Structure formats: structure tokens, C-alpha cells
């Protein structure tokens, strides 16, 4: 990361001085493409969202196969406004505003670059036909460098400014071809011509318009950064940093800037030391927070998601008052602090009963907006659904409203649907005091189970009392070593070891029977037999349950916390290239063991048997109550008739 003291200011008056030139570029110019191919006429033949340019093309200059296109007018303002109903919408105005501002910043930066390296004087000498032959090669190199600077800054600034207006929709526009390096002006002409082509081909509405511009900027930055690796005269720009104060934009050479789209969080964060008990849930939350930070914004993928075992969804259940809200506050606080250090945008969203609407379809829309907001690949996201048993209804349950049924359908599709893509930038936590009231299929979409059982031991209750009393007292502590039992590694190891045997009575019967039939569960075949025996006892234990268990085992194989230093100094890990991150994580992983598999089967199956027992008991109790009411109603009816 660049030192703030070495960061130069790109003055606002220098940027605004380029507004007229930037607007002229957007209003219209003619351009004859030299490297790209005009493909606008093929727009109707393509599917929306798919770029039409080939990802590969011949790199042999001068061949007869090189595409030739006639000069054409580029009118981006007209192009953007043409997507609406005649009036410029707020989103269209935001796109045009971002483009103008991005162009102005690029032109101002190019002008400063030219002045710093003496290019401005060479340009003047060239115009006056007095440029020495000995400096023509230098002049050509400097013009190419200026063009690359202008292109990258334009794409970088525009993407940054547009980021707050983007949703979760992403499109592919293919590789950028028309990257010209004759000079900055021609370079921007080529880029805007190609952007105009992409908008014509892919942007069918204004929402897709913003996504197309953002995708184009990302592709252009990658292409220019790659070209810059072998270009001359770029050292001053590549190692420098600038700040555009009015936009909060930090430019650091050819690195993409990151726009903060998370917004300020108004939440009372909790420190890990303030969570007493809940050892496994606490440990998994700590690990998950650091896992999310491994997300690579350039690759738009998390190494943990690629390696397997990333916790995309989890269920936290426990009795009221056991600490579910405290866990949420702890995890959100950790992510908020980590993202501040790394300069990453963080977004926390909660979906609650308040978003269930009486209007048909509105609840589903609210749920979809919540999902899309957290899934946004340009942020680190954490979404929670508190009291999910009230928010999402059971299918077939007459007591569930239409709005609750809509929410259930949206969540099921988002968490494990045909189009679900797990990038590893976000996680969803479902919390409930009564998980047995959650639809079985939705509950099974929770890949991990966090049993939030609160303080359990004598030491836990001593610790939580001391924590909540605070320091404004003179009561002696007595025979206790405060918080010694909360040492996370020791506590978690003991908690996992406790699942060497199941806890629930129904599952214990299955365990004992399998042990009699097969002996110790020390092979894949025996473990598979145990899984089948569980399925016979509970038909709801399906292949999805096995996937969730194996994912949990993979998480255990990555049973290490990313070092705190990696979060505090992002250059050590967070800012490394994606492939280097993968290698660093692989180096910390350990092999999966039989003990891990047995413990995770028992943990998961215990939760399902616990939910089933409670659900069945609640159903029986409801039927008994109904029968009693019916008997009482008959008695009163007969007494009234008599």
C-alpha cells in the first residue's frame, strides 16, 4: 500500500478544467476502428449479457484477415439516453456523470504526466517541426505511456464512481481490442468507441447499462495493466499515488481503486472476549470472518470457495438468551474492522419480520433485494435472517402467510438453486430459537450448524457474571480463574471431542446398532453404512445432508485461523495475487481424519434429530390441544342444548 504522506493531490480545478473536453467526447466524435471490429449489426443475434467480440484474435499486423471497419459516429450521450423512455433517468444520469468525471480525471492526470516527464515540451516542439531526430524514439515512448495512463485512469475512476449505483447483475463483454497508444486523445477515442459498441450490443435496459460500463472498465484496466508491464517510461506513474479529494478516489499506479459501497454500520459490536460459552459457534465465526477476507476482488473468487468447504450458509439455533445476537455483533464487528484495515467495502444486511408485506409479491421482492445486496461481488457481505422461523413459512403450513411462503421460495433458490454461484465474498446466517419450525428443505440449505447453547459449565457462569458486573464493584472473585475456560483452542478441542458419540437419544440408538453390526467406524464403507442407517431412521437425512457434512469436514481440514498479522498488514496476504493466496492456504491445511468425519456426522445428525424431535413433539402437542378443545366444545354444546 502507498504511504499517505507520499500521496499527491490531483487538484479539483485541474479536473474541472477538463469538463468541456470530456463532455465533447461523450457528445460525439468520429472514429475509424483499427484493432476492434464493429459488431453492432449483430446485436439481435446475441443473447443479452454475452459479449460478441471473440476472446482471441490474430495478433499478426497487416494480414488480410484483419477486420476493417468504416468510420462511424460515437454518440454516447445519445446512446445512453436512447435506452429510456425519452427522459433521462437518475441511473442514466449517474452513468453519464461517472463517464464525464472519469474522462476529466483521466485528461487531468495525462496532462500532469506529460508535464512531469517533459512530454508537453516535446509535443510543442513536434508541432513546430523542431523535434530533434535523436528524441523521436523517446517522444513515441512517452506518447504511448501517456495513452496507457489516460486509459487506465479513465477506467479506474469511472468504475469507482459507478460502483455505488451497481446491483448484483454482472455481464461479460469479452476482451477489449481497441487499445490504441498513439497518444492519449486517440486512446480515449478508441476506448469510447468500443464502449459504445458494448452498450449497443448488451445493454437492453438501464440496469444492464450500468453493469456493461462497469464490466468494460474492469476489462480495460486489465488489458492496459498487462500492456503496461512491457511499456517504457511508466515508472513514475506505476510507483506514484494520487488522491482526488472530492470523490474520495485514491489512484495508485495501475492498481484498481475500491469504492466503499457498504455504508456506515450502526451496531454495537462485541469483542470475542465478550462471548462466553458457545465455543464451537464462536470459533467457526472467527474463522469464517477471516475466510471472507481472503476473497480476491480481481478474480472475484475466494480461494476457500475453490478449495472446498467455504461456509456460504449456516444455521445458528438455541434457546432465547443464549447469545445469538452477541455472535452476530461479534462477527459483524470483526468483518467491519478487517475491511477498514484492508480498504475493502463491507456490507451488513439483516432480513426481519418487518419486511413481510401484505401486498402480493412484495415480500418476495424484499427478500430478493436483500439477497442481491449481500451477493454483490464488489463488497464483502454478511447477511443475517433473525428469527427465520417467523420470517420464512413452512410449505403446506396453513398458518404461514403468502408473504412468508414467497420468502421461503426466494431463500431456497438463492442458497442452493440451479443458478447459485458461490464466489466466497459473502455468507448468510439464519438464526432461530425454534429451528424445528423452519421448512425442512430450507433448513437443510444451511451448510453449517452453529449450536448456540450459551454458557454451560460452572466456569462459564462465573465468567459471564464477572463480565456483566463490570469493574465498578469490590466483590472478591473467590476460587476461580476468570476466563481460563474460554481459551478458544482448548475449549473448541473439548467441544469437538464431545461429538465422538451422538448426544440425541434417537441418534444414539442408530449409533449403537451400527457399532454392533460393523465395529469401529474407521473406513469409508463403515462411515457410509452409518449415514445410510441415519437415513433409514430419518428420511429427511438426504444427499444434501451428506454434502453439508463433507463441507464441514473440509472446513475442519482448514482448521487453522489465518494469522492476525495477515489481517493487520494486508500486504502479507490480502493483497497477494490469487494464485499465491491459494498456495499459502494449502500450506496451512491438514489432512482429513476419521475422527473429523465421525464428529461432523454426529454434530449434523444430532441437530437434525433435535429439530425432528421438537417438531414432532410440537405437532403432537398441537393435535392433543385440538382434541381437548373439541371435547370441551362438545361438552359445552350438549350442556347448552340441555
Query: What does the pLDDT look like over 283-321, one tens digit per residue?
Result: 888 888 998 999 998 888 999 888 877 889 998 887 777
636 domain-assigned: no
Domain shared by 244 and 336, yes or no: no
- For residue 261, being part of any structural domain is answered with no
What pLDDT shows up at residue 638? Answer: 84
pLDDT for the residue numbered 42: 38
Same domain, 406 and 526: yes
* Whether residue 195 is found in the same domain as residue 327: no
Mean predicted confidence (pLDDT) in 266-270: 68
Instruction: Give which of 561, 549, 558 is closest to 592, Cα–Cα.
Output: 558
For the cut 80, the answer to whether the pLDDT of residue 420 exceeds it is: yes
Residue 640 within a domain: no
**pLDDT over 80 (residue 428):** yes
Q: Tell me whether residue 631 is in a domain.
A: no
Q: Are residues 338 and 443 in the same domain?
A: yes
pLDDT at 44 over 50: no
Query: 488: pLDDT confidence band, cut at 50, 70 and 90?
Result: low
Q: 277 or 407, which is more confident?
A: 407
Q: Is the pLDDT of residue 40 over 70?
A: no
Residue 262 in any domain: the answer is no
* Residue 59, pLDDT above cutoff 60: no
Report the sign of the C-alpha dihedral through residues 128, 130, 133, 139, in that order. negative
Q: Which residues of 43-82 are buried (b: 16+ CB within 10 A; e: fewer)?
A: eeeeeebebbbeeeeeeeeeeeeeeebeeeebebbebbbe
3-state helix vs strand vs coil in the chain, percent to 5: 55, 10, 35
Question: Counting beta carbons within 10 angstroms of the beta carbon of residue 574, is it exposed (0 to 12), middle (13 to 18) or buried (19 or more)?
Answer: buried
* Residue 139 pLDDT level (bands cut at 50, 70, 90): very high
Are residues 244 and 114 located together in one domain of the fold?
A: yes
- Nearest by Cα to 310 from 280, 330, 290: 290
Confidence of residue 267 (pLDDT cuts 50, 70, 90): low
Q: Mean pLDDT: which of 2-6, 198-202, 458-462 is highest?
A: 198-202
Q: Report the percentage of the chain scoring pLDDT > 70.
A: 85
Are residues 400 and 363 located together in one domain of the fold? Answer: yes
What does the buried/exposed string (b/e) look like for 116-131 if buried means 16 or more CB atoms within 10 Å of the residue's CB?
A: ebebbebbeeeeeeeb
Do 289 and 218 reside in the same domain of the chain?
no
Are residues 464 and 421 both part of a single domain? yes
Q: Report how far residue 165's alpha carbon sits from residue 101's, in angstroms, rounded to the nearest whole number.
A: 15
Residue 558: give its domain's CATH number.
3.40.50.300
Angle (deg, nearest 10), helices 90-116 and 136-162: 150
Report CA dihedral (625, 631, 632, 633) to the nearest 10 degrees: 110
pLDDT bin (cut points 50, 70, 90) of residue 146 is very high
Residues 35, 170: one domain? yes
Look at 67 and 146; give whichever has higher pLDDT. Answer: 146
Q: Which of 291, 271, 273 is closest to 559 using CA atoms? A: 291
The confidence score (pLDDT) of residue 62 equals: 36
Flag whether pLDDT at 179 surpasses 60: yes
Give dist(CA 314, CA 289) in Å, integer.
Answer: 13
Q: What is the pLDDT of residue 66?
A: 34
Domain span holding position 139: 11-252
Buried b (16+ CB within 10 A) or exposed e, 610-639: bbbeebeeeeeeeeeeeeeeeeeeeeeeee
Counts for the chain of helices (H) and strands (E), in that order: 24, 10
The beta strand positions in 7-102, using DSSP E, are 8-9, 29-31, 72-74
Measured from the Cβ of residue 32, the count of other Cβ atoms closer than 10 Å reads 13
Cα distance between residue 621 and residue 601, in whole Å: 30
**Residue 611: is its pLDDT beyond 90?**
no
Query: Considering the chain, what is the average pLDDT of its residues?
Result: 82
Q: Is the pLDDT of residue 484 over 70?
A: no
342-351, 476-485, 539-548, 622-631: segment of lowest average pLDDT: 476-485
Based on the fold, state whether residues 447 and 392 are members of the same structural domain. yes
Higher model confidence: residue 614 or residue 330? 330
- pLDDT at position 57: 38
Asked if residue 5 has pLDDT above 80, the reply is no
- Work out the percent of the chain whose per-residue pLDDT is above 90: 31
What pTM was computed for the model? 0.59
Q: Provide the pairing of β-strand 313-317 with 426-432.
A: parallel
- Which pLDDT score, from 0 to 100, does residue 426 have? 95
Lowest mean pLDDT among 15-24, 226-235, 622-631: 622-631
Return the closest-CA partner of residue 538 out of 451, 608, 602. 608
Decide if 638 is inside a domain.
no
Together in a domain, 281 and 229: no
pLDDT band at 199 (very low <50, low <70, confident <90, very high): very high
pLDDT at 226: 92
> Is 257 a domain residue?
no
Residue 3 inside a domain? The answer is no
Count of structural domains within the chain: 2
The three-state secondary structure class of 6 is helix
Between CA 103 and CA 158 the distance in angstroms is 8
pLDDT higher at 465 or 105:
105
Q: Residue 483 has what pLDDT?
A: 64
Give DSSP secondary structure letters for 170-198: --B---------S-HHHHHHHHHHHHHHH
Mean pLDDT check: name the lowest of 120-124, 151-155, 548-552, 573-577.
Answer: 548-552
45: confidence class by pLDDT, cuts 50, 70, 90: very low
Regarding whether 355 and 243 lie in a shared domain, the answer is no
Amino acid at each position: 500500500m502507498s504511504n499517505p504522506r507520499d500521496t499527491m493531490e490531483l487538484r479539483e480545478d485541474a479536473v474541472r478544467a477538463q469538463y468541456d473536453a470530456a463532455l465533447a467526447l461523450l457528445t460525439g466524435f468520429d472514429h475509424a476502428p483499427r484493432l476492434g471490429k464493429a459488431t453492432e449489426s449483430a446485436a439481435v443475434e446475441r443473447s443479452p449479457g454475452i459479449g460478441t467480440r471473440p476472446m482471441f484474435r490474430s495478433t499478426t499486423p497487416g494480414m488480410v484477415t484483419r477486420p476493417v471497419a468504416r468510420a462511424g459516429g460515437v454518440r454516447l450521450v445519445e446512446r445512453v439516453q436512447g435506452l429510456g423512455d425519452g427522459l433521462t433517468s437518475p441511473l442514466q444520469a449517474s452513468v453519464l456523470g461517472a463517464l464525464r468525471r472519469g474522462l476529466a480525471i483521466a485528461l487531468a492526470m495525462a496532462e500532469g504526466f506529460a508535464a512531469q516527464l517533459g512530454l508537453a515540451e516535446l509535443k510543442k516542439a513536434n508541432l513546430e517541426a523542431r523535434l530533434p531526430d535523436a528524441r523521436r524514439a523517446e517522444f513515441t515512448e512517452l506518447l504511448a505511456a501517456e495513452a496507457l495512463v489516460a486509459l487506465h485512469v479513465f477506467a479506474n475512476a469511472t468504475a469507482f464512481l459507478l460502483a455505488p449505483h451497481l446491483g448484483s447483475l454482472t455481464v461479460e463483454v469479452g476482451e477489449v481490442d481497441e487499445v490504441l497508444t498513439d497518444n492519449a486523445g486517440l486512446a480515449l477515442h478508441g476506448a469510447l468507441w468500443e464502449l459504445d459498441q458494448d452498450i449497443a450490443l448488451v445493454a437492453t435496459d438501464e440496469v444492464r447499462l450500468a453493469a456493461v460500463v462497469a464490466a468494460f472498465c474492469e476489462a480495460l484496466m486489465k488489458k492496459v495493466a498487462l500492456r503496461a508491464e512491457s511499456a517504457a517510461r511508466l515508472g513514475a506513474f506505476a510507483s506514484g499515488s494520487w488522491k482526488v479529494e472530492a470523490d474520495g478516489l485514491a489512484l495508485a499506479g495501475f492498481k484498481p481503486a475500491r469504492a466503499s459501497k457498504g455504508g456506515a454500520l450502526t451496531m454495537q459490536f462485541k469483542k470475542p472476549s465478550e462471548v462466553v460459552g458457545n465455543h464451537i459457534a464462536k470459533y467457526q465465526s472467527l474463522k469464517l470472518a477471516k475466510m471472507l477476507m481472503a476473497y480476491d476482488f480481481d478474480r472475484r473468487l475466494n480461494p476457500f470457495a475453490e478449495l472446498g468447504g467455504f461456509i456460504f450458509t449456516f444455521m445458528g439455533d438455541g434457546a432465547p438468551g443464549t447469545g445469538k445476537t452477541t455472535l452476530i455483533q461479534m462477527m459483524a464487528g470483526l468483518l467491519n474492522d478487517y475491511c477498514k484495515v484492508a480498504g475493502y467495502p463491507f456490507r451488513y444486511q439483516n432480513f426481519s419480520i418487518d419486511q413481510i408485506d401484505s401486498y402480493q409479491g412484495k415480500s418476495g421482492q424484499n427478500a430478493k433485494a436483500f439477497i442481491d445486496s449481500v451477493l454483490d461481488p464488489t463488497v464483502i457481505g454478511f447477511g443475517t435472517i433473525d428469527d427465520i422461523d417467523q420470517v420464512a413459512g413452512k410449505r403446506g403450513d396453513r398458518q404461514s402467510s403468502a408473504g412468508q411462503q414467497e420468502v421461503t421460495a426466494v431463500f431456497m433458490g438463492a442458497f442452493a438453486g440451479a443458478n447459485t454461484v458461490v464466489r466466497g465474498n459473502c455468507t448468510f446466517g439464519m438464526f432461530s430459537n425454534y429451528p424445528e419450525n423452519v421448512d425442512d428443505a430450507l433448513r437443510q440449505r444451511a451448510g453449517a450448524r452453529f449450536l448456540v447453547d450459551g454458557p454451560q459449565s460452572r466456569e462459564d457462569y462465573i465468567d459471564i457474571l464477572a463480565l456483566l458486573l463490570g469493574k465498578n464493584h469490590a466483590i472478591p472473585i473467590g476460587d476461580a480463574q476468570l476466563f481460563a475456560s474460554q481459551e478458544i483452542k482448548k475449549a473448541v478441542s473439548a467441544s469437538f471431542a464431545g461429538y465422538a458419540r451422538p448426544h440425541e437419544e434417537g441418534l444414539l440408538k442408530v449409533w449403537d446398532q451400527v457399532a454392533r453390526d460393523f465395529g469401529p467406524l474407521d473406513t469409508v464403507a463403515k462411515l457410509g453404512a452409518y449415514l445410510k442407517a441415519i437415513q433409514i431412521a430419518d428420511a429427511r437425512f438426504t444427499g444434501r445432508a451428506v454434502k453439508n457434512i463433507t463441507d464441514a469436514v473440509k472446513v475442519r481440514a482448514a482448521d487453522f485461523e489465518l494469522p492476525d498479522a495477515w489481517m493487520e498488514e494486508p500486504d502479507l496476504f490480502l493483497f497477494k495475487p490469487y494464485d499465491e493466496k491459494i498456495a499459502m492456504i494449502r500450506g496451512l491445511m491438514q489432512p482429513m481424519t476419521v475422527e473429523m468425519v465421525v464428529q461432523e456426522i454426529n454434530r449434523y445428525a444430532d441437530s437434525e434429530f433435535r429439530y425432528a424431535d421438537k417438531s414432532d413433539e410440537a405437532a403432537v402437542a398441537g393435535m392433543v390441544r385440538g382434541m381437548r378443545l373439541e371435547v370441551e366444545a362438545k361438552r359445552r354444546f350438549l350442556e347448552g342444548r340441555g
